[in-house]
Amino acid sequence: MAVSHLECKECKAQYALEALYVCERCFGPLEVAYDHSSSERDVGELRRRIQGGPQNIWRYADFLPLAGGPPGPSGRLASRVGLPAGCTPLIRADRLAERLGLREVWVKNDAANPTHSFKDRVVSVAVARARELGFETIACASTGNLANSVAAHGAALGLESYVFIPADLEEQKVLATGVYGTKLVAVEGTYDDVNRLCTELSAERDWAFVNVNLRPYYAEGSKTLAFEIAEQLGWELPDRCVVPVASGSLFTKIAKGFEEWRDLGLLEGELPRMNGAQAEGCSPVATAYAQGQDVCRPVKPNTIAKSLAIGNPADGPYALDLARRTGGGVDAVSDDEIRAGIALLAQTTGIFTETAGGVTTAVLTKLAAQGDIDPDERVVLVITGEGLKTLDAVRDTFETYSIAPTVEAFAAGVPEAVSV
């Protein structure tokens, strides 16, 4: 395997591949480093090797941080272990593009994962690494989607799990977590309070907190979104990606995935313009971007996009740097724009997304309306989660005709249908 060591993103200090996430010298984040010097150099052979892999993220095992390769009896059988994530549809959304005055828009629908969000990618990798390291209990601090995924992966693999969530989470996300038999802990406070608690607990308990002490491995799972987009576009890079930003991890790791494949010769050309999407009620990264700052001032979230409600984003500085160096940006939209984004995506693509996808769609709409996107660009909209998890966002946004079961009642009660 090509995985080599952990390295501080700030001071480049190196560490062994253990359950570590912070540099002891400068407190910077640790990231997984690879050594591909002995990997296959023939691009055609590399592509064939990927294409011959299972229909899930383990087809990219050469680029993921597992010491023992993909989990399971063999690479080919990896899809039978745990909850296989990935290989979600990339849909050409011509009706959406037309509405926005663009030529080519693709929707990466990551709601089509086992627990209906992109979090299954990161959890698959974190939990596989946790097992390699000998952990028997997994845990997380979550805004909801991660809670679903950690609880489900714990159940699938027979690992005990503890899931910490803010007490005011959407009911659908709470129910879709508890059902898996996890130990669900609702914390009075915001996600940032939950995160602080889990950071403290991770020092006291011998647990694999997927997004704390296992975070370097966990975050690598998001690269598979980039790998899939490129593979599904026929080994090509898009011109622009619009991605939701909470901690900034997904946003930065999608770019890292593209960059790693470009370094290996699997892709050619410029890195896509990376556009981050936030809700106005929790926009520390968009605010810092607009003000030209290189660090984010934390905020107290107040938005319907609870899955993005991280007021103190760990990867904020890196997200800002990425947006600037690729010619992208980070924008924020209001709750009403988020609801309109959900409706627009649903009504032009048939994809019902949660509030985070409403944020992403609304930011794309805003960029298109401002003329920031060249109509000839190939744009990928990353939809990270499922609309059924945030039903309150669409409640009372449309009319239902209530009638008696007669033809007359239908004719009298549903005027538009009669006039057609």
Partner 1 sequence: MTVVVKIPTQLRAAAGGETETEVDGETVQEVLDGLYERFDELRVRISDEDGSLRRFVNVYLAGEDIRFLDGLQTPVADGSELTILPAVAGG
Position among 5, 14, 18, 24 found at the interface with partner 1 (CB under 8 A):
24
Alpha-carbon span 282 to 305, nearest angstrom: 9
Residues 125-144 that bind partner 1 (CB under 8 A): 141
| Contact indicator for 217, 132 with CB cutoff of 8 Å | no
Nearer to partner 1, 153 or 378 (CB): 153
Nearer to partner 1, 75 or 216 (CB): 216
Alpha-carbon span 395 to 392, nearest angstrom: 5
44 membership: H or E segment, kind and range: helix 43-51
Tell me the window of 63-71, 173-181, 190-198, 401-409 that interacts with partner 1 (CB under 8 A).
190-198
Residues in contact with partner 1, counted by CB under 8 A, come to a total of: 41
In the bound complex, what is the minimum distance in angstroms from residue 246's beta carbon to partner 1? 6
Question: Token pair for residue 291?
Answer: 């003000």
Alpha-carbon span 122 to 319, nearest angstrom: 18
Alpha-carbon span 303 to 188, nearest angstrom: 17
- Closest by Cα among 271, 303, 300 to 393: 303
Residues 291-350 that bind partner 1 (CB under 8 A): 295, 297-298, 300, 310, 312-315, 317
Query: Regarding beta strands 329-333 and 90-92, do their DSSP bridges make them parallel or antiparallel, or are they unpaired?
Result: unpaired
Nearer to partner 1, 24 or 270 (CB): 24
| Contact indicator for 275, 331 with CB cutoff of 8 Å | yes
Alpha-carbon span 353 to 339, nearest angstrom: 10
Position among 6, 17, 19, 21 found at the interface with partner 1 (CB under 8 A):
21
Nearer to partner 1, 252 or 353 (CB): 252
| Contact indicator for 166, 144 with CB cutoff of 8 Å | no
Nearer to partner 1, 49 or 205 (CB): 205
Q: Coil, strand or helix: which one is 358?
A: helix
**Stretch 231-250: interaction string toward partner 1, x if CB under 8 A:** ---------------xxxxx
Question: Is 16 a residue that touches partner 1 (CB under 8 A)?
Answer: no
Nearer to partner 1, 208 or 266 (CB): 208
Question: Is 360 a residue that touches partner 1 (CB under 8 A)?
Answer: no
Alpha-carbon span 173 to 116, nearest angstrom: 11
Question: Is 355 a residue that touches partner 1 (CB under 8 A)?
Answer: no
Question: Is 198 a residue that touches partner 1 (CB under 8 A)?
Answer: yes
Nearer to partner 1, 39 or 199 (CB): 199
Residues 199-218 that bind partner 1 (CB under 8 A): 199-200, 202-203, 209, 211-212, 215
Question: Is 195 a residue that touches partner 1 (CB under 8 A)?
Answer: yes
- Closest by Cα among 258, 248, 273 to 327: 273
Alpha-carbon span 69 to 281, nearest angstrom: 41
Tell the burial category of 177 from Cβ atoms under 10 Å away from its Cβ (0-12, 13-18, 19+): buried
Nearer to partner 1, 238 or 281 (CB): 281
In the bound complex, what is the minimum distance in angstroms from residue 88's beta carbon to partner 1? 20
Question: Where do contacts with partner 1 occur on this chain (CB under 8 A)?
Answer: 10, 21-29, 141, 191-193, 195-196, 198-200, 202-203, 209, 211-212, 215, 219, 246-250, 295, 297-298, 300, 310, 312-315, 317
